[in-house]
Amino acid sequence: MPHIIGSRIILREYRKEDLESMRLWVNNPEITNNLSDVFLYPHSQNATESYLNSLLEGKTEQKGFVIADKETEEYIGQIDLFHIDWKNRSTEMGIVIGNPKLHNKGYGSEAIQLIQKFIFLQLNLNRLQLEVHDFNDRAKKCYLKCGFKEEGRLRQKHFSNGQYTDVVYMGILREEFMNKKEI
């Protein structure tokens, strides 16, 4: 995969040496509580390594990039595409910034804007969608900033910390992306 270069970050390929950085967040509830239920149970070293190897060897339908520092290429997080539907020209996105100290610094929104360019201008897809927990205000604010619109919600779909919460569906269309002021 090609590198996609931004102002402070690059989106690059996964590498074997990313395993250590992935292990730092994969069992951290401060990070994983905002992600899918894939992270409900602890992930072993072998499970994380198997996941990374499946990406490195191209043995998964999932495609994605590591979000890395532009100068050092050190792992910051990852942004992945799931369920690429070539007929209907759509895909689903997931993103994680693995180090809580790097939250609220704009890395996520820069990565999303770069992946949007890639999806709409290189892959010629028409739709990018995602799911977010209703309680994840930081993520929702970032997605809105990046042009996503709330399209619906599944009420009380997610159970977390003793209560049911909504899952919000958000999406952006190619024409909406193209109409943004900065491309």
Helix axes 137-145, 107-117, angle to 10 degrees: 40
Cross-strand partners of 163: 160
CA atoms of 94 and 112, how far apart (whole Å): 10
Q: Residue 84's domain is classified under what CATH number?
A: 3.40.630.30
Which amino acid, 90? Answer: S
Prediction pTM value: 0.92
Distance between CA atoms of 168 and 181, rounded to whole angstroms?
26
Which residue from 141, 140, 146 is spatially nearest to 168, judged by alpha carbons?
Answer: 140
Identify the three-state secondary structure at position 126.
coil
The angle at the Cα of 169, spanning 100 to 109, to the nearest 5 degrees, equals 40
What percent of the residues of the chain are helix, what percent strand, and what percent coil, each to the nearest 5? 35, 35, 30
Domain that holds residue 152: 4-179
- Report d(CA 77, CA 96) in Å as an integer: 5
Note the pLDDT of residue 153: 96
pLDDT at residue 36, rounded to an integer? 83
Report the pLDDT value the prediction gives residue 70, as an integer from 0 to 100: 95
8 backbone dihedrals φ, ψ, rounded to 5° = -120, -15
Into how many domains does the chain fold? 1
Q: What is the pLDDT along the chain (183 residues), one digit of tens a residue?
A: 579 999 999 999 999 999 999 999 998 888 888 888 788 788 899 999 999 999 999 888 889 999 999 999 999 999 999 999 999 999 999 999 999 999 999 999 999 999 999 999 999 999 999 999 999 999 999 999 999 999 999 999 999 889 999 999 999 999 999 998 665
Is the Cβ–Cβ distance between 93 and 83 less than 8 Å? no
Partners of residue 59 on adjacent β-strands:
none
Interatomic CA distance for residues 136 and 96, integer angstroms: 13
pLDDT at 181 (0 to 100):
64
